[in-house]
A and B are shown apart, each in its own frame.
Chain A
């Protein structure tokens, strides 16, 4: 710690910081542009100038850039100094020379850091009378809009995109007053984190293209604290709504999880919420194939309850993309013995094993922020950029962590970003990858091995054995495996904090067991390591903790006539098992009740379809892959703008159905009741209640506002329906109000923040006002509760070591790979994601391609049983012979591990966006 004197007042600050960081952490306002809490200082914009004095006797002082000035004990600075103020005003004046006066039509307006800083410095009069410099803009793909004339050349975009996120197709071109930030030619930005440019850019150069068509100012949006539902990482988001539509997703700061950044699937994959074909009313289908009839709520509940009462046994199929509360209510409705998780057996086996490993390996699961502090990483069987992108970004930061360590050894502070980069060059902590094809982290890996799934498991076991000899060794290892295992084992043992990452992406318990053995071995050798296991969907971890039978079991019950009614919760079974067997089983159900917010093939078959709320219209709790239970809050009431909708939270529907089934009057239910009930019912979930404050939480005696205090148009937004404005929707479930009335400030510590705003800080930079220090934790603590921790016990090594992979003669073995864009069910229904995903492509090794006489871009016909699929081919060097790698989301009939035969095809596949493979059943 060090003491600094700012404008005559003394403060105690962290001596390792720079002055800007220290002052912002103290809550003092210094304007800045090029500095970013996650990216350090470069001293380019010169906006953060302050006066620094040598000692108490120095009354002249000199200007320093606070971002580049290290904190020194007894440092004396002045922010208010006249010369410093004048210089800061000049800097904004210079930045505004070429900046267009287009704020009224600029999409950044209202949450623009440049606006905030301009007001802060007091520059309000234009003196430059000459012509402005202009640029041409580029098409950058479906996510990001480009308006270069607004650029103030702070270099943040390229520093984030290239240095932080590892992109390579955005650069700074030109020089002097004509620096251009863009691609070398027009085209889609390739990096998976490009959306963060919209927040990193301090003005409106890079804006959210998905928001553009239906644009709303930040102050006119209604927000709630959300949790991203597009994968299992559990990033905190701040979705914004207007007129019953989600208009954009912004990052919601969480000190332990996503911090400042999201992946593009999470940010741009929300479009399914706004789809026009969503079910909005209960639909009754008396006979299969008959037209559906819309029902009112009571009629639907009556018919639904009646149908269920008539059944001799009801099976409930839950969903890993639904909340714990909804799954719990379903399980209560059908009974413990009749509940299926709705997860296919292979995946569920992986999930169960992962939960067991998290408890029994002795290594804790680090948060994402903690991942960044590890110094040797092994990733077994995951392409993190595809399966848990935000985690992949954290792994990248962990590797780059060595740069800061090297710099500190040389006396260079870690925040001196360019100097750190210069010193370290391309040195990083060791990262080892084992995966069938190239992964998004190959570029920074010390070694990336291309292996078939079973060989990945064997590599893992060999590593474990070399860390702890009591772990079983691999029988008949080949030289390459031994050499790789030795290198990896010694790197992990040399590290202070080794991290093992694996997961269920390849649906292989063999790989997970191997990862578990490495973790156990590290734990036995007393290493302060970590074990991160990637799950697939938003609530996969939570649903596994809640427990239930597999999806196959549920379908078997129907097939065998053991049950005649089925309730399916937010789950499209056709995404999980081959269509034929799903169709067959569903046809056996006399009553099929489906709750979903998407019009899925499963829902289309329902006797009774109930319109469920998506994450934007519901509250609930999810458990992330880290084991963190996190609450997401309803953003808006869909019935307010569209009174005809009958969308309800699934847990509300299920509660009402259960009451109807028991012929009871539907008693009022609230989220808190369901959450508490769920926590009581499953001891492992007991902590979930504390994931967020209950509905009775108040700040200064009032609820929390979902809308900024400048929210406009409330009295007229329903005027097309009726000139009389109804009372705003009431929210009995959460401490948030559907209103601008309520607390929205930063000065009272709170965990649940719908949107970041502080006086003078309208941009996402306002988050600095909510944290205990810049880049630290929310002052009330970061939200969420950890449920999965290692428990002590005498655990043993797994000895399930698969034999080395041998390709099936004349056939190919399918490996299904996760895919960031298009691989996840709900976001794949969003148009921008479909546009970004393009066609699904199969990957073959060069030997196989040559044998089949297929070249890059050619098409292959995949023949399995009675079906055949046509897919375009990418030939990738290193992909093991005999593997056919196809992306997730093509067809669940193509199961990983399945043997298929291949033939060249002259046919083109159907060109459906996001989906591929013409099916010829």
Chain B
């Protein structure tokens, strides 16, 4: 890989040297090469690759794999934090039930997030191994990797790895002599953020509009093509081999006292810091350590706020940096850990402009299925545009408050609009004065009183 290409993908780099990454502490990244050279089949097998598959398929039942995942407390690394083991346990299996699908959610499109990309580009076999384990646990017949279309390099890596795995007998009939059969296809997406929502992803995979589906029924009951389907994030699946190989207790203990959640997390930092990138650290590592590892804020600027895990998480203040970055702690602080990739905002950046940019993204990426999201987000964008240009009217901020509530959880069809509402409401809460500076006009001339309802 040339330096030029490497620079283009500057954020998607692991900033930890091989000396720091060890098998017993860095289950996701210990096999990676310092120069970013992908780990393909030969090297992967040399580094204990596919041992977990051989072990699980020949020594464990599917239910035992699920139990291990539950005990290890691997929580969904796509951002929702739902226990992968519990999810697998809910997949319908058994008498009269067709074998379904394992779908890997590799549609990484959360603003400020670039962790799955690293794993897929540099160690695609880890994902494949995780998917085989998931398939075994869920009695799935076929797997799909739903990959973000722009991840060309990842597609190349995965395609090669799938060929290698098939060649080596890790995919296809009778995997590792266990009698279990399973195969995987790579599907590259056509570029919609909403495809990261698991049911919209399934619809898109089926060739339909990427609209989310109503839950219940959950994909585990009726997923892709109506069959039981487990959808998991790349990083979640990549954790499965280590859980099987080294045991659930070991995995749970990786985070030590930092968090109740188990294992490590691929954290990252982007924005105006000195050294953006990724680090695999025990889950629950506080933001201060991450900022330290990123070399701190660029000179002459002050940290104003940060997003803990993507554009759909709520803003936190510098004082929150001490908090453990895990699902529950960040949730209690009024935000979400999301993907765990911090976006840093400094005092030289306008929150109003940032929000306008974010909301424009969410508005554009709405699938258009439910009313609040489809109609409310563009209105939000227009109000923010007006405030940004200093054309706001009195009442605009209150209108934004109302929209943030109306687009909130429980009112929309899926989590897209609530994801857009969370940074907005936290921005309005913490940085209201910045919004107020955009209000320059009184409310426009009132409309003539309409005829009161019900009087004609």
Chain A residues positioned under 8 Å from B450 (CB to CB): 124-125
In the complex, the answer to whether A422 meets B378 with C-beta atoms within 8 Å is no
**Quick one: closest B residue to A41, CB to CB?**
B214
A68 to B216 CA separation, bound complex (whole angstroms): 10
User: Is the C-beta of B357 less than 8 angstroms from some C-beta in chain A?
Assistant: no
Closest Cβ–Cβ distance, residue B107 to chain A (whole Å): 15
Chain B residues positioned under 8 Å from A45 (CB to CB): 370-371
User: Is the C-beta of B402 less than 8 angstroms from some C-beta in chain A?
Assistant: yes
In the complex, the answer to whether A153 meets B371 with C-beta atoms within 8 Å is yes
Residue among B363, B372, B399, B410 making CB contact with A176, cutoff 8 Å: B363
A127 to B368 CA separation, bound complex (whole angstroms): 21
In the complex, the answer to whether B213 meets A419 with C-beta atoms within 8 Å is yes
In the complex, the answer to whether B375 meets A177 with C-beta atoms within 8 Å is yes
Q: Interface code B388-426, partner A: CB below 8 Å = 1, 0 otherwise?
A: 000001010001001000100011110000000000000
Residue among A47, A63, A127, A176 making CB contact with B366, cutoff 8 Å: A176
**CB-CB contacts below 8 Å: A110-132 with B:** 119, 122, 124-130
Closest Cβ–Cβ distance, residue A413 to chain B (whole Å): 10
**CB-CB contacts below 8 Å: A125-156 with B:** 125-130, 133, 152-153, 155
Interface SS of A by simple majority = loop
**CB-CB contacts below 8 Å: A633-653 with B:** none
User: Is the C-beta of B209 less than 8 angstroms from some C-beta in chain A?
Assistant: yes
Q: Interface code A38-52, partner B: CB below 8 Å = 1, 0 otherwise?
A: 000011111101000
A62 to B411 CA separation, bound complex (whole angstroms): 10
Chain A residues positioned under 8 Å from B214 (CB to CB): 42-43, 68, 416, 418-419
Closest Cβ–Cβ distance, residue B411 to chain A (whole Å): 6
In the complex, the answer to whether B226 meets A177 with C-beta atoms within 8 Å is no
Residue among A62, A91, A94, A424 making CB contact with B379, cutoff 8 Å: A94
Residue among A44, A97, A98, A130 making CB contact with B413, cutoff 8 Å: A44
In the complex, the answer to whether B371 meets A424 with C-beta atoms within 8 Å is no
Residue among A94, A176, A425 making CB contact with B371, cutoff 8 Å: A94
User: Is the C-beta of B127 less than 8 angstroms from some C-beta in chain A?
Assistant: no
Chain B residues positioned under 8 Å from A87 (CB to CB): 406, 411
In the complex, the answer to whether B370 meets A43 with C-beta atoms within 8 Å is yes
**Quick one: closest A residue to B374, CB to CB?**
A177
Contacts A127-B399, A129-B444: A422 and B222 contacting too (C-beta < 8 A)? yes
User: Is the C-beta of A295 less than 8 angstroms from some C-beta in chain B?
Assistant: no
Interface SS of B by simple majority = loop
**CB-CB contacts below 8 Å: B284-313 with A:** none
A422 to B227 CA separation, bound complex (whole angstroms): 9
**CB-CB contacts below 8 Å: B218-245 with A:** 221-222, 225-226
A129 to B445 CA separation, bound complex (whole angstroms): 11
A63 to B412 CA separation, bound complex (whole angstroms): 10
- Among A62, A126, A418, the most chain B Cβ lie within 10 Å of the Cβ of A418
In the complex, the answer to whether B371 meets A47 with C-beta atoms within 8 Å is yes
Contacts A44-B371, A155-B369, A423-B217: A130 and B447 contacting too (C-beta < 8 A)? no
User: Is the C-beta of B382 less than 8 angstroms from some C-beta in chain A?
Assistant: yes
A125 to B399 CA separation, bound complex (whole angstroms): 14
Residue among B369, B395, B399, B444 making CB contact with A44, cutoff 8 Å: B369
User: Is the C-beta of B70 less than 8 angstroms from some C-beta in chain A?
Assistant: no
**Quick one: closest B residue to A45, CB to CB?**
B371
In the complex, the answer to whether A175 meets B225 with C-beta atoms within 8 Å is no
Residue among B222, B366, B369 making CB contact with A423, cutoff 8 Å: B222
Chain A residues positioned under 8 Å from B406 (CB to CB): 87, 90, 94
Closest Cβ–Cβ distance, residue A34 to chain B (whole Å): 9
A152 to B369 CA separation, bound complex (whole angstroms): 11
In the complex, the answer to whether A424 meets B226 with C-beta atoms within 8 Å is yes
- Among B214, B368, B375, B382, the most chain A Cβ lie within 10 Å of the Cβ of B375
User: Is the C-beta of B453 less than 8 angstroms from some C-beta in chain A?
Assistant: yes
**CB-CB contacts below 8 Å: A72-91 with B:** 87, 90-91
A411 to B412 CA separation, bound complex (whole angstroms): 24
Chain B residues positioned under 8 Å from A481 (CB to CB): none
User: Is the C-beta of A95 less than 8 angstroms from some C-beta in chain B?
Assistant: yes
User: Is the C-beta of A24 less than 8 angstroms from some C-beta in chain B?
Assistant: no
User: Is the C-beta of A174 less than 8 angstroms from some C-beta in chain B?
Assistant: yes
User: Is the C-beta of A410 less than 8 angstroms from some C-beta in chain B?
Assistant: yes
Chain A residues positioned under 8 Å from B368 (CB to CB): 153, 172, 174-179
A63 to B408 CA separation, bound complex (whole angstroms): 11
Chain A residues positioned under 8 Å from B166 (CB to CB): none
Chain B residues positioned under 8 Å from A49 (CB to CB): 411
Contacts A91-B371, A176-B368, A177-B368: A46 and B217 contacting too (C-beta < 8 A)? no
A152 to B169 CA separation, bound complex (whole angstroms): 53
In the complex, the answer to whether A176 meets B369 with C-beta atoms within 8 Å is no
Closest Cβ–Cβ distance, residue A109 to chain B (whole Å): 14
Residue among B217, B399, B412 making CB contact with A412, cutoff 8 Å: B217
A174 to B210 CA separation, bound complex (whole angstroms): 11
In the complex, the answer to whether A422 meets B226 with C-beta atoms within 8 Å is yes
Chain A residues positioned under 8 Å from B370 (CB to CB): 43-46
A826 to B452 CA separation, bound complex (whole angstroms): 48
A355 to B215 CA separation, bound complex (whole angstroms): 50
A152 to B213 CA separation, bound complex (whole angstroms): 20
Closest Cβ–Cβ distance, residue B76 to chain A (whole Å): 22
In the complex, the answer to whether B222 meets A419 with C-beta atoms within 8 Å is yes
Chain B residues positioned under 8 Å from A126 (CB to CB): 447
A119 to B213 CA separation, bound complex (whole angstroms): 30
In the complex, the answer to whether A94 meets B399 with C-beta atoms within 8 Å is no
Chain B residues positioned under 8 Å from A90 (CB to CB): 372, 402, 406
Chain A residues positioned under 8 Å from B382 (CB to CB): 130
Q: Interface code B416-456, partner A: CB below 8 Å = 1, 0 otherwise?
A: 00000000000000000000000000001001001011100
Q: Interface code A404-421, partner B: CB below 8 Å = 1, 0 otherwise?
A: 000000111000101100
Closest Cβ–Cβ distance, residue A761 to chain B (whole Å): 14
A418 to B209 CA separation, bound complex (whole angstroms): 12
**Quick one: closest A residue to B414, CB to CB?**
A43
User: Is the C-beta of B364 less than 8 angstroms from some C-beta in chain A?
Assistant: yes
Chain A residues positioned under 8 Å from B411 (CB to CB): 46, 49, 63, 87
Chain B residues positioned under 8 Å from A44 (CB to CB): 369-371, 413
User: Is the C-beta of B367 less than 8 angstroms from some C-beta in chain A?
Assistant: yes
In the complex, the answer to whether A425 meets B225 with C-beta atoms within 8 Å is yes
Contacts A94-B376, A95-B371, A176-B363: A43 and B413 contacting too (C-beta < 8 A)? yes
Chain A residues positioned under 8 Å from B99 (CB to CB): none
Chain A residues positioned under 8 Å from B375 (CB to CB): 94-95, 97-98, 177
A62 to B409 CA separation, bound complex (whole angstroms): 10
Chain B residues positioned under 8 Å from A175 (CB to CB): 192, 209-210, 366-368
A418 to B413 CA separation, bound complex (whole angstroms): 13
Chain A residues positioned under 8 Å from B378 (CB to CB): 97, 133, 176-177
In the complex, the answer to whether B453 meets A124 with C-beta atoms within 8 Å is yes
User: Is the C-beta of B328 less than 8 angstroms from some C-beta in chain A?
Assistant: no
- Among A43, A127, A175, the most chain B Cβ lie within 10 Å of the Cβ of A175
Contacts A122-B453, A175-B367, A419-B217: A46 and B222 contacting too (C-beta < 8 A)? no
In the complex, the answer to whether A46 meets B213 with C-beta atoms within 8 Å is no
User: Is the C-beta of B260 less than 8 angstroms from some C-beta in chain A?
Assistant: no
- Among B216, B364, B402, the most chain A Cβ lie within 10 Å of the Cβ of B216
User: Is the C-beta of B365 less than 8 angstroms from some C-beta in chain A?
Assistant: yes
Closest Cβ–Cβ distance, residue B308 to chain A (whole Å): 26
Closest Cβ–Cβ distance, residue B329 to chain A (whole Å): 25
Q: List 20 A-B contacts (CB under 8 A).
A: A44-B371, A46-B372, A46-B413, A47-B371, A49-B411, A62-B410, A87-B411, A94-B374, A97-B378, A130-B379, A152-B371, A174-B368, A176-B366, A176-B374, A177-B378, A410-B221, A418-B213, A419-B213, A422-B213, A422-B226
| Extra contacts besides A64-B410, A153-B374, A418-B213 (16): CB < 8 Å | A45-B371, A62-B410, A63-B411, A94-B371, A94-B374, A124-B453, A127-B395, A128-B379, A133-B378, A172-B368, A176-B365, A176-B368, A177-B377, A410-B217, A419-B213, A425-B225
A interface residue numbers (CB < 8 A to B):
42-47, 49, 62-64, 68, 87, 90-91, 94-95, 97-98, 119, 122, 124-130, 133, 152-153, 155, 172, 174-179, 410-412, 416, 418-419, 422-425
Nearest 7 pairs of A and B residues by beta carbon: A94-B375, A179-B368, A423-B226, A423-B222, A176-B366, A130-B382, A177-B378
